[in-house]
Amino acid sequence: MKSIRGESIFSYVNVIVLSLLSLSTVVPFIHIIAKSLSGETYILAKEIWLWPKGFNFASYEYVLSFKQFYISFSNSLLITIVGTAISMAVTMLAAFPLSRRSFPLKRAFMLFFVITMFFSGGLIPTYLVVKQLGLLNTLWSIMLPMALAPFNLILVRNFFMSLPEALEESAIMDGASNIRILAWIYLPLSLPTIATIAMFYAVGYWNSFFQAMMYITDRGLMPLQVFLMQLVTNSKPGDMAISGGLSEITPESATAAAIICVVFPILCVYPFIQKYFVKGVMLGAVKG
């Protein structure tokens, strides 16, 4: 293939544009990491760009000195692990019947789930239901209402439908029950999809904060995002007086350190799951 002059100019411009875009995504994170590790004087003098100056961990010590941080961290961890487990079980179990061609009422059930994507009762009626069920001030109030995402259900169903039918037929001939077919044939074949959907759910639970703001008033049950929000919005909360021994801290570096602490678990998991989820989503999406 002949390479025309205009072609290569286009390629260069394209690479430059996409590089700038990537940089604009990465730079804020690098800046905030640099800030969280920098000394007070350099922050006040506004000398921090992308590299820390006056390197120290004082802001992290400060954030990690809050008992509330550990309480909130374990709450968020619990919500994420238990919530994701529930979500995955419910989603996989429901996606299987919906992917059966022979299942009667398949369309009716699909409509039943899909309607909830387009119409909702809204904030107050949902709040009242959660209250009526006695879930206020429990972690269930965060996990149960977001346990099933119709969108994820559709992705899994579409993936199941793309598996070859012959597999299932031979299993039926061997006398396997539906639950066996799901557990022994479908699940092992759909690991990338499972990883993808689990990541979606887990991130949703880890990031959830407005449910907590509505349903949870007990500080002992407060998840990490709400803790962070309080730290970010009022940079000097009353009970967080900066002690003399920790003079290296500014409100900015404290916020920066808190942001890194909250985002860190996602950054740890992301690279490993990331390669799966593009494939997972595409497989689910292409076959409408």
Partner 1 sequence: MKTNSWALSRQKEVTKGRSVKLLKYWDLFLMILPAVILTILFKYLPMYGVIIAFKDYNLMKGVWQSDWVGLQYFHELFAFDEFPRVVRNTLMISMMKLLIGFPIPIILALLLNELKFVKFKRMVQTITYLPHFISWVIIGGLAIDMLSPSSGIINRIIEMIGFQPIFFMSDESIFRWILVGSDVWKEAGWGAIIYLAALLGINDELYQAATVDGANRFRQIWHISLPGLKSTIIIILLLRIGYILDAGFEQVLVMYNPTVYDVADIIDTYVFRVGLGSMQFGLTTAAGLFKSVIGCVLLILANVLARRMGEEGIF
Site for partner 1 in 71-110 (CB under 8 A): 89-91, 93-94, 96-98, 100, 102-105, 109
DSSP 13-67: HHHHHHHHHHHHHHHHHHHHHHHHTS-HHHHHTT--SSS-SS---HHHHHHHT-H
User: Which amino acid appears at position 52 of this protein?
Assistant: P
Applying CB under 8 A, does 17 fall inside the site for partner 1?
Answer: yes
Provide CB contacts within 8 A for 198, sequence distance 6+: 84, 88, 273
Applying CB under 8 A, does 25 fall inside the site for partner 1?
Answer: yes
Applying CB under 8 A, does 65 fall inside the site for partner 1?
Answer: no
Looking at the Cβ atoms of 3 and 245, the one nearer to partner 1 is 3
Q: Give min distance, CB of 145 to partner 1, in A.
A: 4
Which of 193, 209, 254, 257 lies at the binding interface for partner 1 (CB under 8 A)? 209
DSSP 64-131: HT-HHHHHHHHHHHHHHHHHHHHHHHHHHHHHHHHH-SS-TTHHHHHHHHHHHHH----HHHHHHHHH
194 CB neighbour count, 10 Å cutoff = 20
Maximum alpha-carbon separation in the chain:
75
Which of 214, 242, 246, 276 lies at the binding interface for partner 1 (CB under 8 A)? 214
Looking at the Cβ atoms of 18 and 81, the one nearer to partner 1 is 18
Applying CB under 8 A, does 1 fall inside the site for partner 1?
Answer: yes
Looking at the Cβ atoms of 91 and 221, the one nearer to partner 1 is 91
The region of 53-61, 67-75, 111-119, 188-196 touching partner 1 under the rule CB under 8 A is: 111-119
Looking at the Cβ atoms of 58 and 231, the one nearer to partner 1 is 231
Applying CB under 8 A, does 43 fall inside the site for partner 1?
Answer: yes
Structure tokens at 227: 């803790």
Which of 81, 123, 167, 191 lies at the binding interface for partner 1 (CB under 8 A)? 123
Q: Give min distance, CB of 176 to partner 1, in A.
A: 12
> Whole-angstrom Cα distance, residue 228 to residue 267?
17
Looking at the Cβ atoms of 35 and 248, the one nearer to partner 1 is 35
Rg (CA), the chain: 24
Which of 67, 118, 175, 218 lies at the binding interface for partner 1 (CB under 8 A)? 118
Residue 152 half-sphere exposure, CB side, CA atoms within 13 Å?
25
Looking at the Cβ atoms of 229 and 242, the one nearer to partner 1 is 229
Among residue numbers 244 through 273, which ones bind partner 1 (CB under 8 A)? 252, 255-256, 258-259, 262-263, 266, 270-271
Among residue numbers 160 through 189, which ones bind partner 1 (CB under 8 A)? 165, 169, 172-173, 177-179, 182
Residue 101 half-sphere exposure, CB side, CA atoms within 13 Å?
7
User: Which amino acid appears at position 237 of this protein?
Assistant: P
Q: Give min distance, CB of 8 to partner 1, in A.
A: 10
Q: Give min distance, CB of 106 to partner 1, in A.
A: 9
